[in-house]
Structure 1
Amino acid sequence: MTSWHPRILKSSRSKYLGIVEALEQDILEGRVKPGTLLPSQRAIARDLSVDLTTVTRAFAEARQRGLIRARAGRGTFALWPPDAPQVFPQSTNTYVKRKVTLDLGMNNPPVGRTHAFAATLRRDLDRLLAEDPSVLDYPTEVGRDLDMQAGVNWLKQRIDSVQRDRTLVAAGAQAALFGIFHLLCRPDDHVCVPSLVYPGTRAIIRDLNLEAVALEQDEEGILPDAFAQACWRGDRGSHPIKALYLTPDIDNPTTATLTEPRRTAIARIAQTHGVAIVEDAPYSALRPNGPRAFASRVPELTWHVATVSKVLSPALRMAYVLTPSAADAHRLAGVFRATHLNPPPISVALVRRWLSNGSAEMICRDVAQENTARQRIARAALKSGSTGAKFFSDQVGPHGWLQLPAGWNSDAFADEARRAGVIVAPDSAFAVGESRRDAVRLSFGTPRDHASLKAALDVLSTLLSQPTSEIRAVV
């Protein structure tokens, strides 16, 4: 027997969302209890006089929001909203409680949570396919030229003197970084990285059999003296430093942004020792008036990678790459052809359209504003108080860095948080060698709304306020 009377919420943007949001409202207001068997999709379509495909889309969205769960042979059942324990029937008269897992571990931007993004994506994909079906084919030379020029125009907003013959398009930042390190280095070569570094870079260094030289860092990023000492030792040893990798704006994971004096010092050291700089800039478009990029300071040494994943959407697997010279671009293009041929043509064409019609700027602005709103929630939930924890963040960044109080080990904290239904990323996921901080990275873009984010942060705040001896005995 069912006890939900399907309806369409009139304030919703579309019929299928109206069905989902009506169900969500009824669950939140207690009119639909956990474990309620919902009518079949065909019955809902008949009662609401809509197409079956509309109801199918509604059910798919409801599953993604954690509102329903299908049980083979038994039907589809309502669950509690994402910030509450969920229940569903295990048999005809038994219910099992389960905690919802809230993910603060995956560093997603919140673009999929904004109405404007979804509407823009649907509109421009439809127009793109109608106007230029060739985006479903391999790119032509004309198409490549247009794509490169779009990249030049975008990079020029933040970098001086960008040239078309130094610019490439790659299938995402990870593919670009792999190609750059493959080109610059040989097995056993030494590269400098922050002591806590993006895990994708650690994987590249491992797979290419390179030696990572961990540089000490503080709240402002890597220490120039540590870089200088590594270069000095390398020049006098058998393994000179081949490259320096860094994320100068909103570092992942620490959120640090290198100050102007540090950038100047690091650039001077790189020039003195002839060290290539691999500048990973996933978040730079969120702060267009930030400090000058290394690609502007030392263009002859800098390989600049600007992905769209963190500022437009992870679904668009592409990045723009600015190389030190046209010859370097030609060599790197050969590596790209061997490793991934070309980025997805439809993604590149869509981004090109967004850059030309102003949508990219609008989405970046929306992402920065939503990041700022979520950072405010995080700061309020994790204010230091008596816990001894310290929270570091950037106002427009998608993540924060939580330094744990004395007595907490980051892996143990991550384990306890997972048991309580929240996923976080411990510093062991970023550490090079023995570098540890007893800290965790918290990413704020994945929770579907502010209430879910606050629920996850409240769980972490409760954990922080409890002595570790109350969590787990040491024997």
Structure 2
Amino acid sequence: MAIWLPDLTGRRGPKYLQILEAMAEDIASERLTAGTQLPPHRELAYQLGVSANTTSRAYAEAVKRALLRGEVGRGTFVRSPDASLQADEQAHLRRERTGPVDLSRNLPLPGFAEPHIRRVLGEVAAGDGLSGLLDYQTDEDLLHHSEAARIWLNSCGVEAQPDQIVTTMGGQHGLFCALMGLLRPGDLLLTESLTYMPVRAMAERFGLQTAAVTMDARGVVPEAFEKLCIGAKPKAFYLTPTLQAPTTTTLPAARRRSIADIAQRHGVILIEDDVFAPLKADRPAPLATSAPDQTVYVTSLSKTVAPGLRVGFLRAPAALVPALHHATNLSVWMTPPMTLEVAARLIRDGTAARLTAQQRAAAERRQSLARSILGHVEFAADPQGFHVWMPLPGAWRADTFRAHCARHDVLVSEGRSFAARVSDAPEAIRICLSHEADEIRLKRGLQTIANLLRLAPSESALEI
């Protein structure tokens, strides 16, 4: 059992949240490692001079956040990072029609694609090629899908030849294959300082080192990227230049050119995650157009056509494609032919483009709703994006505000969830506008957030 005593010096807010915050920081810094047994809550309460209810509540909230796990008859233990990530994914992916309003998941609106996919499935079932789609496929068998991939990539602003395209089971699988195929244990992967955390989890699994590139209000800072290129010799840089999650920024064209130039001069592979790009009509040209021989471009249909249509495409330099194909084969052998056929037909007949336009229009409508309700506070958002990034006003702390929201049946994500380094974690929250299918529920959640923002933290009923 660890002799753990949290340092509460200088912390604000309810005592149980102070304990929780200290615990989260000690887990992040590995002062508390996975599997460590914590002292009983009554013993910790005595050491801190607080009530047993306070420490019990801190432990209970830590279990909810998947920081700890309790074992009957044995005690309370620090969970592994993988268990934490898995619990978070399972807890929030389902779109509930009752219960808490979930504004924590950055998923597209469901429902637009269903009648079109029904139609396509009927066409496939009635055709002559069904049996072939239910069997194992070779690369040669799937060449007829490369034209659909080329059309989709071209709509994203990227030119591609058949020998530069790799099909994947969605964007995240594409990122997985890029890291697996192109990097080796010990290689250094750069990410933005606020980033898509599953990529860092993948990096840890593959034995990669990671470092964060500083960001400002306009996105990643090219000078910070070059400084790391000179001093640390990274192998690759993963970034989301369009509708970045969580900050909503779209990297300006001049910065894109600078980053492409730096990558070319230092031989760094750019992994450009552009899954949100089709939503933004006026986006700058992708990094892949400035550094085509240095960039693995990642796109998918999941964010714009249908979240369950797990099809993605990589556009990469031809020299890197064999390694990417190998990673695909090792992980899933092949993109399921039936799924790929459905996606290809939707792309070729223009349905995918129309569904993307519907998602864009829905995003614009919901962003307008958010502005009308949250307009009394400052936040960052793009009119065609799925989410809002809100630095919290006044004395609010992100973990405290998140707990307030949860008590009022609204789920949001705090800045710490995206921070590559603990020191980069801002007092901010991400509010996702498209996970909730029902706009009445969305409006209720936004109004709850607006009402809480009008209060000071000390006015909350969460005090113990």
TM-score class, shorter = 0.7 to 0.9
Of 362, 366, 371, the residue aligned with 2:354 is: 362
Aligned to 1:273: 266
Query: SS in structure 2 opposite 1:342?
Result: coil
More displaced, 366-375 or 144-153? 144-153
* One-letter amino acid matched to 1:367: Q
1:295-347 alpha-carbon deviations (Å, 9 max, x no partner):
1110000000101110111101121000122x311221011101111122222
Aligned to 2:102: 103
How far is the alpha carbon of 1:157 from its aligned partner?
2.5
How far is the alpha carbon of 1:471 from its aligned partner?
1.4
Aligned to 1:48: none
How far is the alpha carbon of 1:140 from its aligned partner?
5.1
- Say if 1:244 and 1:276, in contact at 8 Å, map to a contact too: yes
Aligned to 1:179: 177
Whether 1:323 and 2:312 are equivalent positions in the alignment is no
Identity of aligned residues (%): 31
User: Where in structure 2 are the equivalents of 1:419-430 lying within 5 Å?
Assistant: 419-430=407-418
Report the Cα distance in structure 2 between the residues aligned to 1:450 and 1:295, rounded to whole angstroms: 37
Whether 1:444 and 2:433 are equivalent positions in the alignment is yes
Whether 1:119 and 2:111 are equivalent positions in the alignment is no
How far is the alpha carbon of 1:449 from its aligned partner?
2.3
* One-letter amino acid matched to 1:120: H
Report the Cα distance in structure 2 between the residues aligned to 1:246 and 1:180, rounded to whole angstroms: 13
Higher relative contact order (CA 8 A, sep 6+): 2
- Say if 1:157 and 1:288, in contact at 8 Å, map to a contact too: no
Query: SS in structure 2 opposite 1:401?
Result: strand
Report the Cα distance in structure 1 between the residues aligned to 2:461 and 2:157, rounded to whole angstroms: 51
- Say if 2:95 and 2:435, in contact at 8 Å, map to a contact too: no
TM-score, normalised via structure 2 length: 0.76
* One-letter amino acid matched to 1:310: K
Report the Cα distance in structure 2 between the residues aligned to 1:161 and 1:467, rounded to whole angstroms: 52
The change in CA–CA distance for 1:416 and 1:341 in structure 2 (over 3 A counts) is same
Report the Cα distance in structure 1 between the residues aligned to 2:208 and 2:243, rounded to whole angstroms: 25
Report the Cα distance in structure 2 between the residues aligned to 1:122 and 1:473, rounded to whole angstroms: 48
* One-letter amino acid matched to 2:434: G
Aligned to 2:458: 469
Report the Cα distance in structure 2 between the residues aligned to 1:460 and 1:64, rounded to whole angstroms: 20
Query: SS in structure 1 opposite 2:155?
Result: coil
Q: Which has the larger Rg?
A: 1
How far is the alpha carbon of 1:142 from its aligned partner?
5.2
Query: SS in structure 1 opposite 2:199?
Result: helix
Aligned to 1:458: 447
Whether 1:374 and 2:366 are equivalent positions in the alignment is yes
Report the Cα distance in structure 2 between the residues aligned to 1:342 and 1:186, rounded to whole angstroms: 22
Query: SS in structure 1 opposite 2:308?
Result: coil
Of 342, 345, 353, the residue aligned with 2:337 is: 345
* One-letter amino acid matched to 1:376: S
How far is the alpha carbon of 1:247 from its aligned partner?
0.6
- Say if 2:153 and 2:159, in contact at 8 Å, map to a contact too: no
Aligned to 2:76: none
Aligned to 2:405: 417
1:220-266 alpha-carbon deviations (Å, 9 max, x no partner):
110111111111212xxxxx111111111100111100001111111
* One-letter amino acid matched to 1:229: K
1:335-386 alpha-carbon deviations (Å, 9 max, x no partner):
1101111122222111100011111011000000001101111111111x3x
Whether 1:150 and 2:142 are equivalent positions in the alignment is no
Structure 2 unmatched runs, 5+ = 1-93
Report the Cα distance in structure 2 between the residues aligned to 1:255 and 1:307, rounded to whole angstroms: 19
Query: SS in structure 2 opposite 1:390?
Result: coil
The change in CA–CA distance for 1:65 and 1:184 in structure 2 (over 3 A counts) is closer
How far is the alpha carbon of 1:191 from its aligned partner?
1.6
How far is the alpha carbon of 1:400 from its aligned partner?
1.3
Report the Cα distance in structure 2 between the residues aligned to 1:65 and 1:426, rounded to whole angstroms: 21
The change in CA–CA distance for 1:148 and 1:284 in structure 2 (over 3 A counts) is same
- Say if 2:110 and 2:437, in contact at 8 Å, map to a contact too: no
Aligned to 1:133: 130
Aligned to 2:380: 392
1:255-279 alpha-carbon deviations (Å, 9 max, x no partner):
1000011111111111111111000
TM-score, normalised via structure 1 length: 0.74
- Say if 1:65 and 1:448, in contact at 8 Å, map to a contact too: no
Whether 1:300 and 2:293 are equivalent positions in the alignment is yes
The change in CA–CA distance for 1:129 and 1:164 in structure 2 (over 3 A counts) is same
How far is the alpha carbon of 1:283 from its aligned partner?
1.0
Structure 1 unmatched runs, 5+ = 1-62, 67-81, 83-99, 235-239
- Say if 2:363 and 2:384, in contact at 8 Å, map to a contact too: yes
Report the Cα distance in structure 2 between the residues aligned to 1:409 and 1:64, rounded to whole angstroms: 27
